Amino acid sequence: MAEILDGKALAQKVRQEIKEIIAADPLLSARPPCLALLLVGDNEASTHYVALKAKMAAKVGINTREFALPAAVSESALVATIEELNNDPAVDAILLQLPLPAHINTPKMLMAISPKKDVDGFHPYNVGLLHMGLSGIQPCTPRGIMALLAEYKINVSGKRALVIGRSNIVGTPMAALLKRADATVTLAHSKSQNLRELIAEADIVVSAAGKAGLVHGSMLKSGAIVIDVGQNYGSDGTLCGDVDFISAEKKAAYITPVPGGVGPLTIAFLLKNALELRLGNDQEK
């Protein structure tokens, strides 16, 4: 029976550390880190996530400034808002909630955010640092997963790791971080052939495909480490991951649940990134 990797507990630990760092530093206490949250349109899920991020930020002592823009906003108007925040010394970090409306060029907007305020680590400059193995802001979910593995003293060096899903938000940076930790990495996606065989060979499986039931326990190597990043809804409306938890739990050595696994880590490391951006920018002044 697999040991549960408790992302919720680690997220609480990270948030407490952030809170203590801010409280112990007179400069941070006097002017707390400030995270700008940009929301375009009225997507229900996005509205919920932005509100949750603001709530968690307040709990650790990070200030937020929320900007709600209409769904029909022009690219030029959105860029103007981003530039205003880039030039505002009181703003340390900027988050542009995704997805954006179809008429907006998402890469263009992400590139408009200053790399020094890019809390998600999506700017090409920060992506370049990541893939070069250099220090920089890392995407929150992959960073949280690596921290979770470290928390449970799981050494990935030399292990075969399979990442399912190649998004720039999770899959691709996840593969890069595992490679940096000396894992032998395979990145699978919708066009990959023989996925079942790839899963069977993997010591570590990170599934971020967004497809419920994609990974069944019968596919797994005995003793595998299973990280489920999926956020799906089953036929009964309940939240579930990409992995069939009941069958996988019997085969794996470690596994993350959904909910309570990877999800809480994303916001915790978003807040940690915001704090580090503030500290890094302060050092440059």
**Residues of the chain with pLDDT > 70: what percent?**
98
Predicted confidence (pLDDT) per residue in 194-222, tens digit: 999 999 999 999 999 999 999 999 999 99
List Cβ neighbours of 30 (8 Å cut-off, separation of 6 or more).
none
- Residue 170 DSSP code: T
Task: For each of the domains in the chain, give its residue range(s) and CATH number, in order of start.
Answer: 29-114 (3.40.50.10860), 140-263 (3.40.50.720)
How far, in Å, CA of 67 to CA of 58, rounded? Answer: 16
Query: Predicted confidence band at 282 (pLDDT cuts at 50, 70, 90)?
Result: low
- Residue 284 DSSP code: H
* Chain position carrying tokens 């408790």: 6
CA distances from 226 to 13, 61, 208, 245 (A): 22, 33, 11, 10
Q: In whole numbers, what is the pLDDT of the chain averaged over residues?
A: 96
Q: Is the pTM of this model over 0.85?
A: yes
Predicted confidence (pLDDT) per residue in 5-60, tens digit: 999 999 999 999 999 999 999 999 999 999 999 999 999 999 999 999 999 999 99
The amino acid at residue 128 is: G
Predicted confidence (pLDDT) per residue in 69-85, tens digit: 999 999 999 999 999 99
DSSP letter for each residue of 5-68: --HHHHHHHHHHHHHHHHHH-HHHHHS--EEEEEEES--HHHHHHHHHHHHHHHHHT-EEEEEE
How far, in Å, CA of 183 to CA of 165, rounded? Answer: 17
Both tokens of 39, joined, read 């929301």
Catalytic residue among 53, 117, 159, 272: 53
Catalytic residue among 92, 117, 118, 120: 120
Predicted confidence (pLDDT) per residue in 167-199, tens digit: 999 999 999 999 999 999 999 998 999 999 999
Predicted confidence (pLDDT) per residue in 89-101, tens digit: 999 999 999 999 9
Phi, psi at residue 66, to the nearest 5°? -100, 135
Residue 190: what pLDDT?
87
Residue 53 annotated as catalytic: yes
Query: Predicted confidence band at 283 (pLDDT cuts at 50, 70, 90)?
Result: low
> H helices within the chain, ranges in order?
7-24, 26-30, 44-60, 75-86, 106-112, 124-131, 140-151, 171-180, 195-201, 245-251, 263-284
Q: Is the pLDDT of residue 142 over 70?
A: yes
